[in-house]
Structure 1
Amino acid sequence: MTKYVGLIIVSLSIAVWAYWNGLAEAFSRWGNQEEYSHGFLIPMVTLYILWEKRGVILSSAGQPLWLGVWLVLIASMVFLIGEVSALYLLIQYAFVLVLIGLSLVIFGKGTRYTFVPILLLLFAIPLPYVIEVLLTAKLQLISSALGVSFIRFCQIPVFLEGNVIDLGVYKLQVVEACSGLRYLFPLMSLGFITAYFYRVTFWKRLVVFLATIPITILMNSFRIGVMGVLVDNWGISAAEGFLHDFEGWIIFMACAVLLFILIWLLEKLTNRKQSLAAVFAIDPIVVTSEDKNKLAAGLANIPLLLVIAILFASGIASQLLDQRSEFYPEHPPFVNFPLQINEWTGKHEKIDKDVIKKLGMTDYLLANYSNHQNETVNFYVAYYQSQRKGVSPHSPRVCIPGGGWEIAKFERTNAAGHPVNRVLIKKGEHRQLVYY
């Protein structure tokens, strides 16, 4: 039995080695982005669930399924596409697919008990910026509006422009205008875990999971409102540093409490007599020698050896692809860009350092040009030396509403033979024409 456990460890180790580039990027984002800091806990929760269910997993283990080999093959193709196209997301999703494939060749039909815990790892995968903003940009605008309503309810003057909340002495969420809801992904992860352990019908589990979205919006709005009140009464320091982080943790814990209050209400409304402890109980662990022998028999199989070979080949391919040299086109610094173009005279503008860090650009040009007729053109260019694996420009379609402007008209057109987006934006009585 010991040598077969060693075989499992070897196969997992090779998988981690082969997919390390994508996994390392996920670790980095967990540490650098607050909205994904819960990622460190997700693998531990998955391991805990698998350990607690080891009895039922082993007792239900059957013959290895060749479907697992095919899944690992598909995952390897996705992995190679991710390596070549420099998309970490594909590598990370492929790794989850590999784990499911390994489960199929090790536990066979017992995978029905490992599938959901492995699927939980998807909540630890940081989303690409484009997908993240599609999911959260509208929710952030709603949250900001509700937060401002709370501040005004407290008789505090405030001005809202998109996601920028101006209190006069301080502007809240200037950087968060492009970062979405910070509690959404951690709370959705908690909601999924809670729904998994919740021993009820499917519709109740679905309600618990989906409820994380409105709970996040309401509590994030409350957080914004409280921050505004603190700034108005105790100054800017109340919105920064330790107090800001401490207040964030309190709000997240309040979200979790609301989630469990919802579960309590569901139990009361459906007249169930069980306590919360009973509905979250875990099956008792019973591991027999017969189960161990069944697992050992399942491990002595060709499918597992094929999977190990595929993973090893993927690791070699990853090492070879990593040795590719990246060629950067010559980039004259934007500081040398001419400020006098015919009758147009320009003036450089600066972007806040926090915003530059959030955007992740290598260089930028922001200048306002005007002519003798007092016509003005705002010119902005962001330069990314490399967009390999995870770095990408922010879409104006998200940042424009985040700055308080409404997109009135959007269309595709041509400029000097190149396709461009022509956007008419408005804010009150003001109108601007944007090309990008």
Structure 2
Amino acid sequence: MATNAPVITEKKTRFELLNWLMANPVLGAGILAVLVPTLLLVARESWSTEQGAHGPIVLATGLWLLWREWQNAAVVARPAPGLPISIAFAILLPLYFVSRVSNIVETEGFLMYGLVVAALFSAIGWEALKRLWFPLIYLLFVLPPPETLVAMVTNPLKIMLSESAVGFLYLVGYPVASSGVTIQVGQYQLLVAEACAGLNSLISLSAISLFYVYLRHHANVRYALLMIVAIVPVAVFANFVRIVLLVLLTYHGGEAAAQGFLHDFAGLTMFMTALITIFAIDHLFGLLFPRLKGSKSDPVAKPAAEPAQP
């Protein structure tokens, strides 16, 4: 039996979004007035550093994911009631202007994000917003994390990774010792900085890994969650490999060699280690849990039964 379900085309969904923007020109202009200067500030203060260099890549891939999932969300898109939007704007806008005047890039970025999401909610409603949950969460990696959070997580992580790297190298026969985040190897002394073992590298590695997991397994929610749980240990292991490699470069090539081109090469090795480990874990989980990997969260549509013959 044929159904008359409406077909949502990409052209139609784009047209509906343009209609909403034309019907709300003040809101659209206001969002651009908040979005553009804050992104320029984030690009200047964060993306130009090693810690935030992943920002442009995450922004480009995140916008592509939004475009990819938009057709699915547009099927259930409905304008949201105005009262919750007004309350959200009444709370977020004053805080945003205070952060803008104070030039606090971390706070300003997240408040800008909240305003943009609130505007998107007013256009498409809660059901459609839920279908865009991953691109919206993924785009948070564009913004720099608060420095207090970085310091709180980084310090114990640096100490743990430093001691682990020293313990491993000592077992294989290297003259190495550590005191906190300071590593002594031979006649050289190294300081494990945030760029080598901190939350910043964990964020970039987690973002790349999440992108891979979502593209490959987003239709299988349980397996995707299993892979997401493995991301943080993989990122920590990749940082461990980087510290070990930098200590070895310093011991065999000297401090100048380890802090020059080879330092950047160690960072590239860290990312390659993380990606290869994610691929290996994905393959291993597929062998250990074949039913979980083969199952899908969306039920498979069954063919309609043929009408009974008279």
Q: TM-score range, shorter-chain basis?
A: 0.7 to 0.9
Determine whether 1:234 maps to 2:249: no
TM-score by length of 2: 0.77
Alpha-carbon contact 2:51-2:201 (below 8 Å) kept: yes
Letter of the structure 1 residue corresponding to residue 33 of structure 2: W
Q: Does 1:4 align with 2:23?
A: no
CA distance in 2, matches of 1:52, 1:9: 25
Q: Select the residue among 95, 104, 111 that pairs with 1:87.
A: 104
Counterpart check, 1:151 vs 2:184: no
> What is residue 271 of structure 1 aligned with on the other side?
290
Output the amino acid matched with 2:235.
Answer: T
Give, as a single letter, the amino acid of the residue that structure 1 aligns with 2:188: Y
**Is 1:245 aligned with 2:264?**
yes
Match of 2:208 in 1: 190
Between the two proteins, the alignment pairs up a number of residues equal to 279
Measure the CA separation in 2 of the matches of 1:47 and 1:9: 22
Alpha-carbon shift at residue 52 of structure 1 (Å): 1.3
> Structure 1 unaligned runs (5+)?
280-436
- Pairing partner for 1:215 from 228, 231, 234: 234
Counterpart of 1:137 in structure 2 is: 155
Summarize the Cα distance change of 1:124–1:63 in structure 2 as closer, same or farther, 3 Å threshold. closer
- The structure richer in strand per residue is 1
Quick check: 1:166 aligned with 2:184?
Answer: yes
Shift of 1:126: 1.0
Q: Is the contact between residue 161 and residue 197 of structure 2 (CA under 8 Å) also seen in structure 1?
A: no
Could you tell me how far apart the structure 2 residues matched to 1:178 and 1:244 are? Answer: 10
SS of alignment partner, residue 121 of structure 2:
helix
- Matched AA of 2:190: L
Deviation readout 1:98-120 (Å, 9 max, x if unpaired) = 22222222222322222331222
Counterpart residue type for residue 114 of structure 1 = L
How far does residue 122 in structure 1 lie from its aligned partner after superposition?
1.6
Shift of 1:48: 0.6
> Which deviations, in whole Å up to 9, do the C-alpha atoms of 1:66-107 show, x marking residues without a partner?
234433333213313423555332221121112222222222
2:224 match = 205
Where do 5+ consecutive residues of structure 2 fail to align?
Answer: 1-14, 297-310
Residues in 1 aligned to 2:108 and 2:192: alpha-carbon distance in whole angstroms? 32
RMSD of Structure 2 on Structure 1 (CA): 3.2
C-alpha distance in 2 between matches for 1:9 and 1:190: 35
Does the CA-based 8 Å contact 1:148-1:224 persist in structure 2? no
Greater Rg by CA:
1
Aligned partners of 2:219, 2:74: CA distance in 1, in Å? Answer: 24
Q: Is the 8 A contact 2:157 2:197 kept in 1?
A: no
User: Are 1:106 and 2:123 an aligned pair?
Assistant: yes
When the two structures are superposed, what TM-score results if normalisation uses the length of structure 1? 0.56
Residue 218 to residue 115, structure 1, CA distance change in 2 (3 Å): closer
* 1:31 corresponds to which of 11, 26, 47: 47
2: CA distance, partners of 1:117 / 1:25: 22
Query: Residues 188 and 212 of structure 1 are in contact (CA less than 8 Å); yes or no, is this contact kept in structure 2?
Result: yes
Higher RCO (CA 8 Å, separation ≥ 6 residues): 1
Aligned to 2:273: 254
Shift of 1:21: 5.0
Correspondence for 2:74: 58
Judge conservation of contact 2:206–2:231 (CA < 8 Å) in 1. yes
1:99-148 CA distance string (max 9 Å, x none) = 22222222223222223312222222212222111122211111111111
Work out the percentage of aligned pairs sharing the same amino acid.
Answer: 23
Aligned equivalents of 2:244, 2:260: Cα separation in 1: 18
Distance 1:140 1:235, change over 3 A: same
Structure 2 partner of 1:377: none
One-letter amino acid of the counterpart of residue 43, structure 1: L
Query: Is the 1:89–1:126 Cα contact (8 Å) retained in structure 2?
Result: yes
Q: Is the helix fraction higher in 1 or 2?
A: 2
Say whether the 8 Å CA contact 2:153–2:199 is kept in structure 1: no
Cα distance in 2 for partners of 1:248, 1:12 equals 40
User: Relative to structure 1, is the Cα distance of residues 81 and 196 closer, same or farther in structure 2, using a 3 angstrom cutoff?
Assistant: farther
Q: What is the DSSP-based 3-state SS (H/G/I as helix, E as strand, rest coil) of the residue aligned with 1:53? A: helix
Output the amino acid matched with 2:97: L
Distance 1:13 1:257 in 2: 44
CA shift at 1:47, angstroms? Answer: 1.0
Give, in whole Å, the separation in 2 of the partners of 1:136 and 1:162. Answer: 13
